[in-house]
A = this chain, B = another copy of it.
Amino acid sequence: MSSVFGKNIKIAIFGQSHAEVVGVCIDGLPAGEHIDKEALADFMARRAPGNASFATKRKEKDAVEILTGLVDDTTCGAPLMAMIRNTDCKSKDYSQFKDTPRPSHADYVAEIKYNGFQDIRGGGHFSGRLTAALCIAGGICKQLLEKKGIEIFSHIYTIGDITEPLFEQIAPEKNMLEKLARSHFPVLNENIGQKMIAKITEVQADCDSIGGGIECMVLGMPVGVGGGMFAGIENHLSSAIFGVPAVKGIEFGNGFSCMHLKGSENNDAFCMTDKEVKTASNRHGGILGGISSGMPIIFRTAIKATPSIAKSQKTVSLSEKKDTHIEIKGRHDPCIVPRAVACIEAATAIALYDLLLTSKI
Chain A residues packing against B (C-beta within 8 Å): 1-5, 7-8, 10, 12-16, 19-23, 25, 27-28, 30-32, 67-69, 71, 74-81, 83, 101, 103-106, 108-110, 112-119, 121, 124-126, 130, 148, 158-161, 203, 208-213, 223-224, 227-232, 234-236, 238-240, 242-243, 245, 247-272, 275, 277, 279-280, 283-285, 288-293, 302-309, 311, 313-316, 318, 321-323, 356-361
From B27, B32, B213, give the contact of A117 (CB < 8 A). B32
Say whether A81 contacts B14, CB under 8 Å.
yes
A333 to chain B minimum Cβ distance, whole angstroms, is 10
* Chain B residue contacts of A5, Cβ below 8 A: 229-230
Other-chain residue from B7, B67, B314, B321 in contact with A21 (beta carbon distance below 8 A): B67
A94 nearest CB across to chain B (Å): 12
- Write the nearest CB–CB distance from A34 to chain B, whole angstroms: 10
Interface pair A259/B303, CB less than 8 Å apart: yes
Q: Tell me the complex Cα distance, A51–B211, Å.
A: 42
Q: Given A12-B12, A68-B16, A78-B15, check contact A235 B228 (CB 8 Å).
A: no
In the A-B complex, the 6 residue pairs with the closest CB atoms? A106-B289, A249-B251, A78-B125, A359-B359, A209-B263, A269-B314
Q: A14-B25, A245-B289 are in contact. List 16 more A-B contacts (CB 8 A).
A: A2-B230, A31-B114, A31-B115, A75-B117, A76-B124, A78-B119, A108-B223, A213-B256, A234-B247, A238-B238, A239-B239, A248-B254, A251-B256, A263-B311, A277-B318, A280-B314
The 5 sampled A-B contact pairs (Cβ below 8 Å) are: A103-B279, A109-B289, A235-B243, A258-B302, A265-B305
Contacts of A360 in B (CB 8 A): 30, 359
- Residue among B4, B21, B148, B290 making CB contact with A81, cutoff 8 Å: B21
B-side contacts of A314, CB under 8 Å = 269-271, 280
Are the C-beta atoms of A12 and B23 separated by less than 8 Å?
no
Contact partner, A104, options B71, B243, B267, Cβ 8 Å? B267
- CB pair B270–A103 under 8 Å, yes or no, is yes
Contact B1 A261 (CB under 8 A): no
Within the assembled complex, what's the spacing in Å between the Cα atoms of A359 and B314? 34
- Inside 8 A of A105's CB, which chain B residues have their CB? 288-289
Residues of B within 8 A of A311 (CB): 263-264
| Interchain CB contact under 8 A, A1 and B28 | yes
B residues within 8 A CB of A103?
A: 267-270, 279
| A101/B160 contact (C-beta < 8 A), A115-B32, A232-B243 known | no
Q: How far is the CA of A291 from the CA of B31 in the complex (A)?
A: 15
State the CA gap A13–B229 with chains docked (Å).
9
Interface pair A74/B250, CB less than 8 Å apart: no
A160 pairs with B267, CB closer than 8 A: no
